[in-house]
Amino acid sequence: MALLQAYGFLIVLMVINALLALSLYLPLMSGQLSLASPGFYAFGGYIAAILSTRVFAPADGEPYAVGLVVLEMLIAGVASGALGVLVAIPALRLSGIYLALATIAFVEILRVVSLNLPITGQAVGIFGIPQPFGSQLGYLLLAIPLFLLAVVFVARLERVRIGRAFTAIRADELAASAMGIATGPYKVLAFALGAALAGTTGALAAHFVNTWNARQGTFDASILYLAFVLIGGSRTFVGPVVGGLVLTAVPELLRGSAQVGALPAWLEGFLSGGGRLIIFGVLLAVGTVFFPQGLVTPELLARLRRGRSRPEVAVAEAQP
Amino acid sequence: MTAPPAAPTLEVRGLTRRFGGLVAVDDVSFAVQEGEIFGLIGPNGAGKTTLFNLVTGLTPPSAGALLHRGDDITGSPPHVVAQRGIARTFQNIRLFTNLSALGNVMIGRHIHTRSGLLPGVLGFPSSRAEEEAVRERALELLDLVGLRDRAQVRAGSFPYGDQRRLEIARALALEPRVLLLDEPAAGLNTNEKAGLSRFVRELRDRFDLTVLLIEHHVPLVMGLCDRIAVLEFGRLIAVGDPAAVRSDPAVVEAYLGEET
Ligand SMILES: Nc1ncnc2c1ncn2[C@@H]1O[C@H](COP(=O)(O)OP(=O)(O)OP(=O)(O)O)[C@@H](O)[C@H]1O
Ligand SMILES: [Mg+2]
């Protein structure tokens, strides 16, 4: 339990990052490479920060009700989903790298807007966001259910009609439309689902980190979440989940060992500075060469499930 | 009171498509009647595939009109054309290669299913029943093309001929009334080619289809089709039954002559 307390911050952070990786995976399910997640994450966080400090603000000394955080998460999710629809419709004209660039621009626009609006606290941001829990570990009470809900949702989605339409669009948009699939609305839906998840996560994160400002949704974060998805694997939802959890844990654990003096000072400085991004950059470059599909692939999962090697290929080769 | 003559299943009027200075399809008009197997032949680059793309909405026309059962559907997007019951295969096979054969055909059931986001994800009984029906129907179609035993195999790993058959099964999943096949015999051996003719006729009878088919192999087209249209440099140079087309001087000179 003491260990759990010590690592409470890290565990919640891992779950939050896995959720954000999933939020990037959702539009990708329909073939849209969107890096807008940090923008919706920041947007959702501001909604929670504003609601909890201005609207639902508790009387001095009173603890903040957990139910109110849940309510904020719902509001942030719906609002972010709606904003997602607004962004997705013009973005339908773009694809591939151009869509990625446009979504980065969207993140930047939100950041600059929040730096200048009085209601988002401008450069200072919003601080003293009320705490519903006595310790950071308490946040697992909200983070874990949200995580399970998101994982089950995406896992189910991959196996039903709407998810199949997403998959078809990702595989071959033109062939999908020739199958009678109205690609536009499905792409907007996938984009909005990712936005809603990022916004909901942001609302939770705003309470968790206590202060919310324009440093929350930035270009760095876009690249970080992209790394989670690409290194974890982009062809099944398990990839981003694993990527988000593991790639959050590893650098923090390294940094943790730095604090107990196990690492030389220069490495400690490197890891707590920009070093993490450099490592991810290298991982991305190396990963795309040796694991172009990411660590977790549908084939790997099938092999694990069946407990034997590559059955689908074996069947195919058995044919004349 | 006499009923008005039924509108043709498919009619193109003055259909034209330009790519820059190139006129890929040039003022083409013809009508296809219900239940016909209608062949489209012509040398490489004659505009056959472009004509299919125009009919299925993948390419918007530069001029002209397209009618389906008398309704003007010029400029309709591909999914609307597909929802009207016009399905196709592609010359350069466009399967969802990473998905299983079953997954490919199940996607073809999209327009005949309703299940929304939440009912699907939450597994409502109606949604589960629909999902089961989709799977059943897809397996039947795989059976029809002889691929049921490999339903779970990745589509991209199939040999060429099987990929062509899988693509036909996927198109049939749309329950089309009009089926467009772009060079279905390409890459098949002589044996498979003979089988294909029989198969196409069977499909027409069993599913009440109207079939449009592009094919280079002249004997196959002559033997299979009720009528044939011949394209050259985007223009329609002849249309009629196989005997008439075979003896048409323009066709002999432009196309058939060089075959023998
Ligand atoms: N998207 C496009 N952009 C530019 N030119 C095109 C395009 N599609 C087709 N063309 C040109 O239009 C002409 C007709 O092409 P099309 O593919 O329709 O011929 P085809 O009759 O199907 O030939 P093949 O028998 O080789 O399949 C060709 O000259 C081709 O290069
Ligand atoms: Mg062609």
In this structure, which amino acid lies at residue A137? L
Contact list, B107 vs chain A (CB under 8 Å): 164-165, 167-168, 176, 179, 181
Closest CA to A33 of A83, A78, A94: A94
The span from the CA of A220 to the CA of A284, in Å, is: 14
Place of tokens 């296809």: B32
Cα A182 to averaged position of ligand 2 atoms, centre (Å): 25
pTM score, two decimals?
0.91
Place of tokens 């990929």: B163
The span from the CA of B239 to the CA of A144, in Å, is: 68
In this structure, which amino acid lies at residue A223? I
The span from the CA of A152 to the CA of A148, in Å, is: 6
SS3 at position B214: strand
> Is B197 close to ligand 1, i.e. is its CB under 6 Å away?
no
Which-ligand-closest: CA of B46?
A: 1
Instruction: Kindly provide the ipTM of the predicted complex, given to two decimals.
Output: 0.93
**Which 168-187 residues of chain B touch chain A by CB within 8 A?**
170, 174
Indicate left, alpha or beta for B62 from its phi (over 0: left) and psi (-120 to 50: alpha): alpha
Whether the Cβ atoms of residue A219 and residue A107 lie closer than 8 Å to each other: yes
Q: What is the DSSP letter of B69?
A: T
Q: pLDDT tens, A179-217?
A: 999 999 999 999 999 999 999 999 999 999 999 988 887
Where helices occur in A2-139 by DSSP H, the ranges are 2-6, 8-29, 37-50, 66-91, 96-116
Name every residue whose Cβ is closer than 8 Å to that of residue A264 and which is 6 or more positions away in sequence. none
Place of tokens 């089309």: B176
SS3 at position A217: coil
Tens of pLDDT along chain B (260 residues)?
Answer: 556 667 899 999 999 999 999 999 999 999 999 999 999 999 999 999 999 999 999 999 999 999 999 999 999 999 999 999 999 999 999 999 999 999 999 999 999 998 889 888 898 999 999 999 999 999 999 999 999 999 999 999 999 999 999 999 999 999 999 999 999 998 888 888 888 999 999 999 999 999 999 998 888 999 999 999 999 999 999 999 999 998 888 888 876 555 44
Tell me which fold the domain B1-85+176-260 belongs to.
Rossmann fold (3.40.50)
Chain B nearest CA to A9, separation (Å): 31
- Residue A57 domain flag: yes
- Residue A112 domain flag: yes
Whether the Cβ atoms of residue B66 and residue B72 lie closer than 8 Å to each other: yes
CA count, 13 A, side-chain hemisphere, A200:
24
Q: What is the mean pLDDT of residues A85-96?
A: 93
> Is B90 close to ligand 1, i.e. is its CB under 6 Å away?
no
> Is B213 close to ligand 1, i.e. is its CB under 6 Å away?
no
Closest CA to A155 of A248, A29, A37, A41: A29
> Is B24 close to ligand 1, i.e. is its CB under 6 Å away?
yes
Residue A200 structural domain:
2-218
> What is the pLDDT, as a whole number, of residue A58?
74
- Residue A166 domain flag: yes
Q: Cα angle at A179 between A174 and A184, to 5 degrees?
A: 60
Rounded (10°) CA dihedral B221, B193, A176, A152: 160
Name every residue whose Cβ is closer than 8 Å to that of residue B15 and which is 6 or more positions away in sequence. B25, B27, B28, B29, B51, B54, B61, B63, B64, B65, B66
Q: pLDDT tens, A249-261?
A: 877 776 666 565 5
B189 in reach of chain A (CB within 8 A) = no
Q: pLDDT tens, A44-63?
A: 999 999 999 888 887 777 78
Please state, for a pLDDT cut of 90, what percent of chain B lies above it. 80
- Residue A271 domain flag: no
Chain B nearest CA to A156, separation (Å): 5
Number of domains in chain A: 1
Would the CA dihedral through A260, A261, A267, A272 be positive or negative?
Answer: positive
B91 in reach of chain A (CB within 8 A) = no
B/e letters for B36-68, b = 16+ CB within 10 Å, e = fewer, are: bbbbbbbeeebbbbbbbbbbbbbbebeebebbb
- Residue A114 domain flag: yes
